[in-house]
Structure 1
Amino acid sequence: MNQMKYSNQTDDVYGIKAAGSKKKTFVLWREVVMAYAAPAIMAGIGGLVTADRGLLIGALTTIGGASALMALMIGILLRSRVGLIRWIICAPHLVVVGVFALAGSSFGLYAAWVTSGLLEFIIPSNHLAWVSRVWIDFPLSGFIASTIVTWRWRLAVTTNFSSKRRR
């Protein structure tokens, strides 16, 4: 009996699902891997089609890297106590996703400003062609990663929350 009680607590805290369970879980490492791979592949295809070497390099560095970093940060934030705030759980799905998407793109814009400012201070900008790309790559990657991670997290929370209500 005590082992069963411990198992249910573990399921709730760590998002572990039993074999055959219909619960959707939010697994952060999978979200981070997909946040890197999906935009990197799409931008890489775009770079191949347009024969843009800068886009090919950006796909693997600034686009994929910024997306993965943003997904990691948003995922950690949502899995922490912030994800338990009532308005995040109870507000309409699109409102929560929109707020986090706006926050992600704002953070990406801030990161682009800091990155370009620091690198221009250290190294002249004519030596680093990719620095001009961060003004598009970072905010766009932040927006996309925040939207997808928040959407998937919210689906998992809503599914788990509604299944617990039925018990």
Structure 2
Amino acid sequence: MKYPNQTDGVYSIHAAGSKKKTFVLWREVVMAYAAPAIMAGIGGLVITDRGLQIGALTTIGGASALMALMIGLLLGSRVGHIRWVIGAPHFVVVGVFALAGSSFGLYAAWLTSVLIEIMIPSNHLAWVDRVWIDFPLSGFIASTIVTWRWRLAVTTNFSSKRRREK
């Protein structure tokens, strides 16, 4: 018996009016940048924090977009075809990828602060302190949302394929 691959068709673009949910990586990356940047920018305006306003467009939005791109590419590769990623409960998969995203964000914050300290040893830049919060939080949120939407697309496409085969 041939088992259908649950990720087939997830990354394809369907005709307008199609009821299938698809996962389109460039849309996810754009939204991963725009949504946190807008929300953090509004927060910076409300509390009149210039650092938060600038961070919204740079470290917050940029880290979210980068993490969404990395997770989307990872899920589109062989990792998305691994049995436990497809077969495990939705919350387990999202939780594992959210933990991985925040861990990578923490590692990126450490690496950024170390490299900046090596390159500019005597100058303390204010935005470097922000990366310790911005990178892990952006990694967590972007990984959670991208993985959640990817799993919905995989589940929806797999369910519709099963109905067609019967």
Q: State the TM-score, normalizing by the size of structure 2.
A: 0.91
Check whether the contact 2:10–2:22 (CA below 8 A) recurs between aligned residues: no
Q: Which residue of structure 2 aligns with residue 81 of structure 1?
A: 78
- Whether contact under 8 Å (1:74, 1:146) holds in the other structure is yes
Match of 1:96 in 2: 93
Question: Any stretches of 5+ residues in structure 1 without a counterpart?
Answer: 1-10
- Are the equivalent residues in 1 in contact too, given 2:33–2:65 (CA < 8 A)? yes
SS of match in other structure, 1:31? helix
Render the CA deviation track for 1:6-31: whole Å, top value 9, x for unaligned: xxxxx827412133321000000000
Q: Where does residue 54 of structure 1 map in the other structure? A: 51
Q: Does 1:134 align with 2:96?
A: no
Name stretches of at least 5 consecutive residues in structure 2 with no aligned partner.
1-7
Cα distance between partner residues in 2 of 1:42 and 1:109: 21
1:63 aligns with: 60
State the match for 2:3 in structure 1. Answer: none
The answer on whether the counterparts of 2:10 and 2:153 sit within 8 Å (CA) in structure 1 is no
**1:5 alignment partner in structure 2:** none
- Structure with higher RCO (Cα < 8 A, 6+ apart): 2
Partner amino acid for 1:54? G
Q: Could you tell me which amino acid in structure 1 is paired with residue 30 of structure 2?
A: V
5 Å matches for 1:14-163? 14-124=11-121, 126-163=123-160
More helix by share: 1
Q: Structure 1 residues 50 and 13 mapped into 2: Cα distance closer, same or farther (>3 Å)?
A: closer
Cα distance in 2, alignment partners of residues 73 and 88 from structure 1: 16
CA distance in 2 between counterparts of 1:150 and 1:70 reads: 11
Count of aligned positions:
157
The 4+ residue runs of structure 1 with deviation greater than 3 A are: 124-127
Please name the residue that 1:8 is paired with: none
CA RMSD of aligned residues (A): 1.3
